[in-house]
A = this chain, B = another copy of it.
Amino acid sequence: MADKITTRAENYSERYNDIVKVADLAENSDVRWCMVIKPYGYAIRENIRDVLDKMFKNTGHVNAYFPLFIPKSFFSKEASHVEWFAKECAIVTHYRLKNSPDSKWVIVDPEAKLEEELIVRPTSETIIRNSYKNRIHSYRDLPLLINQWANVVRWEMRTRMFLRTTEFLRQEWHTAHATEKEADDEARKMLDVYDDFVTNFMAISSVLGIKPEHEKFAGAVQTYTFEPMMQDGKALQAGTSHHLGQNFAKAFDVKFTNEKNELEYVYATSRGVSTRLIWWLIMAHSDDKGLVLPPALAPLHVVVVPIYKTEEELKQIKEYIQTLIERFDTTKLDFKGKYFKASINLRWKIDEDTNRSPGWKFNEYEAKGVPIRITVGLRDLEAWMVEVFKRESGEKSSVKLEEVDLHIDNYLYKEQNNLLRKNQAFREANTFVVDTYEDFKEKVEKWFVLAHRDGTLETADKIKEETSATIRCIPFDQPDEAGKCILTGKPSKKRVLFARSY
């Protein structure tokens, strides 16, 4: 710390890289296209995972673990049914190294060639579905609600930390059901669970809806999505929930005996979110001093910095700080969503490092988005007070020692809601209802637009070609209303959401 952060106005993309650097979240690794998630970045990932994991378990889902490698033949099987999957992936062809003839380096042993190549999982869809075949016999074995937390690999050439890297961490869900309705209900309900997390824990407000026919996941009957707005007005594909009907069961031959004693293909759903959520968290709330984090997910809520001149002063202040943190140890924070309540211990740290100045530390923790900084100097001891600084508003206040836990507690709830309100207000203020193609073109260059379209692929393609904007979703909350397509003038029954996206 603390390098300067490029402002939003200067270069939004550079700014992102600067924040990742100053907040010490991640760095490029020695392996091209892969990143190292540093401890502070990983702590955010753990908080996200822990909250989501409990939400999933609360809704009856269980975790399991499937192999990292997938035989190449599984992809052929899938390829013959659906032509969707990307072919850029890491391929294992050999299983042994050996010393070079002069023993100075290692080489791949040409004799250790695999009979069938193995693919490092780009998704576990094929291997999980295949295993379902052995597990599902009767309607009594359903539903099967399995989730996996794991690393996956897609050979991405244009990478960006957290947004798109060759290896990334994700959860993926592959469920099996006895009826079409049950599968559709699951896909729809789990979108709400994602949205609950995103809204109430990440403090980000999204537009929920259905993907239009041509933007659906290949092979899906229905793709449900939530669409947030980034600070630069763009959308991001952050999480989708698919009802797959019987398509995948047919590809993998997964049948069961239904209640009428007939053999039938199972109904499936799938979805997943990844470390991309961290990219999104950074893009949603940061300011020009660095990261801003919603308290529900912040690795640290409070940092305490002693301010002193002499060793003797430091000694006194340290004792005082001990009294302070006794109050922290019993402080529990409850963050609530629709589906889940998280009870979190107050996360705090005392920074007594004598090698860094208070000013250096202030910058450091502001860049890292720690919501509250407490400083303690000699004067505070005498007054039985501490100074509380709020990262996001920049507001400072003197607080009585015996009130400090309550003060922090109150502030963190307020701040959690405050961030959500700001995010929602920003999206709402920058979402425009337009009725002409001229207005459309002007607004969609920068913001979200609600407009009528005729529902054809041709129109969608033409609009995308001319404006770079795509239909993000058919929002649940848009009323039925008669209108005319902004491009062709043909009739439309409902406005859809357009935006450019990452």
Binds B, one of A32-40, A206-214, A333-341: A32-40
Known A-B contacts A37-B65, A66-B36; the reply to A93 vs B96 at CB < 8 A is no
**A158 CB within 8 Å of chain B:** no
**A98 CB within 8 Å of chain B:** yes
Known A-B contacts A39-B63, A39-B64; the reply to A95 vs B155 at CB < 8 A is yes
Q: Which residues of B contact A104 (CB under 8 A)?
A: 76, 80
**A62 CB within 8 Å of chain B:** yes
| Residues A88 and B92 in contact, CB atoms below 8 Å apart | no
A72→B109 CA distance, assembly (Å): 12
Known A-B contacts A91-B95, A131-B29; the reply to A72 vs B36 at CB < 8 A is no
| Residues A99 and B120 in contact, CB atoms below 8 Å apart | no
- Measured between C-beta atoms, what is the minimum distance from A42 to chain B in Å? 5
Q: Which residues of B contact A109 (CB under 8 A)?
A: 87
| Residues B79 and A108 in contact, CB atoms below 8 Å apart | no
Query: Which A residues between 221 and 268 are near B, CB-CB below 8 angstroms?
Result: none
**A118 CB within 8 Å of chain B:** yes
A150→B38 CA distance, assembly (Å): 14
| Residues B62 and A43 in contact, CB atoms below 8 Å apart | yes
Known A-B contacts A76-B104, A76-B105, A106-B79; the reply to A29 vs B67 at CB < 8 A is yes
Q: Which residue of B lies closest to A70 (CB)?
A: B31
| Residues A92 and B95 in contact, CB atoms below 8 Å apart | no
Known A-B contacts A76-B104, A91-B108, A120-B120; the reply to A131 vs B62 at CB < 8 A is no
We find that the number of chain A residues with CB closer than 8 angstroms to chain B is: 68
**A94 CB within 8 Å of chain B:** yes
| Residues B73 and A36 in contact, CB atoms below 8 Å apart | no
Q: Which residue of B lies closest to A356 (CB)?
A: B140
A409→B280 CA distance, assembly (Å): 44
**A130 CB within 8 Å of chain B:** yes
Q: Which residue of B lies closest to A103 (CB)?
A: B79
Query: Which A residues between 55 and 88 are near B, CB-CB below 8 angstroms?
Result: 62-76, 79-80, 87-88
Residue from the list B45, B63, B120, B127 in contact with A29, Cβ < 8 A: B127
A69→B79 CA distance, assembly (Å): 27
- Measured between C-beta atoms, what is the minimum distance from A207 to chain B in Å? 32
| Residues A75 and B106 in contact, CB atoms below 8 Å apart | yes
Q: Which residue of B lies closest to A87 (CB)?
A: B97
30 contacts between A and B (CB under 8 A): A27-B134, A29-B66, A31-B67, A31-B71, A34-B68, A35-B67, A36-B64, A36-B65, A36-B67, A39-B63, A39-B64, A39-B146, A42-B64, A68-B151, A73-B105, A75-B97, A75-B106, A76-B106, A80-B104, A87-B96, A89-B95, A90-B92, A91-B92, A91-B94, A91-B96, A92-B93, A97-B119, A108-B117, A140-B353, A151-B151
A-B CB proximity, top 7 nearest: A76-B105, A34-B67, A39-B62, A37-B65, A91-B94, A87-B97, A95-B155
Inter-chain pairs besides A79-B103, A90-B92, 6 sampled, C-beta below 8 Å: A42-B64, A68-B120, A68-B167, A69-B167, A79-B99, A79-B105
